[in-house]
Amino acid sequence: MKIGFNDYTRGAALATELVNTSPLVREAGEVLADPGALRDFLSEHGVDGGEPGTDDLEEVLSLRSRLRDILETEDEDETAEAANALVARAGVGPALHRDGDGRWRWYVGTVPEAPLADRLAVLAGTGLLGVLDVLGHGRFRHCASSSCEGVFVDTSRAGRRRYCTPSLCGNRLNVANHRARRSPGRP
């Protein structure tokens, strides 16, 4: 796996979306309920995960909880240290290669035969470090919906993202319905 230093959005998006597959965030329950669900998640994110097994799933779920800790901590040095540790799990380089347009770019690679969870750790860790460096720690946030436990990394240009999953949490009606479902007065 070859990960561009400049392209931190991909790794940051993967980290955000992986964290928010958890039953802690998703009312419908665990998104990554079996290796097939993990395979679908990875293909949606353009990661070649082959055919993940139950061991891969277990390691990815463990990475997910690590990522949640990193996205939640308010200590920015801790964020850097933890994300550096993710890259160190299987990262090699950096190395300079030409990109698709022939321009020189810095890349981090992964060691051959690295397990899936380690490759994802390098991808997510590189993305988080890029955000910390370029955009700052203020981009690591909790979802603004009071009924959502989601966390996210805002890589938007304007930096005004408020929700972990804008299509769900950003929809006022959904949020209102969610609150109504959770209210104690509901039969």
Can you give the binding site for Zn ion, defined by CB under 5 A?
A: 143, 145, 148, 150, 163-164, 169
Is the Cβ of residue 121 or residue 164 nearer to Zn ion in the bound state? Answer: 164
Our CA angle for 125, 153, 31, nearest 5°, is 85
Shortest CB 90 distance to Zn ion, Å: 30
| Least separation in angstroms between CB 56 and Zn ion | 26
User: Which residues are registered as beta bridge partners of 62?
Assistant: none
φ, ψ for residue 4 (rounded to 5)? Answer: -75, 135
- Give the separation between CA 181 and CA 187, rounded to whole angstroms: 9
50 or 159: whose CB is closer to Zn ion?
A: 159
3-state secondary structure of 45: coil
- CA distances (Å), 116 to each of 52, 61, 104, 121, in order? 8, 12, 27, 9
User: Taking the complex as a whole, how short is the minimal distance between the CB of residue 95 and Zn ion, in angstroms?
Assistant: 37
Residue 105 in contact with residue 4, Cβ under 8 Å? yes
Query: At its nearest, how many Å lie between Zn ion and the CB of residue 145?
Result: 5
| Smaller CB separation from Zn ion, 60 or 148 | 148
**Residue nearer to Zn ion on the CB measure, 66 or 178:** 178
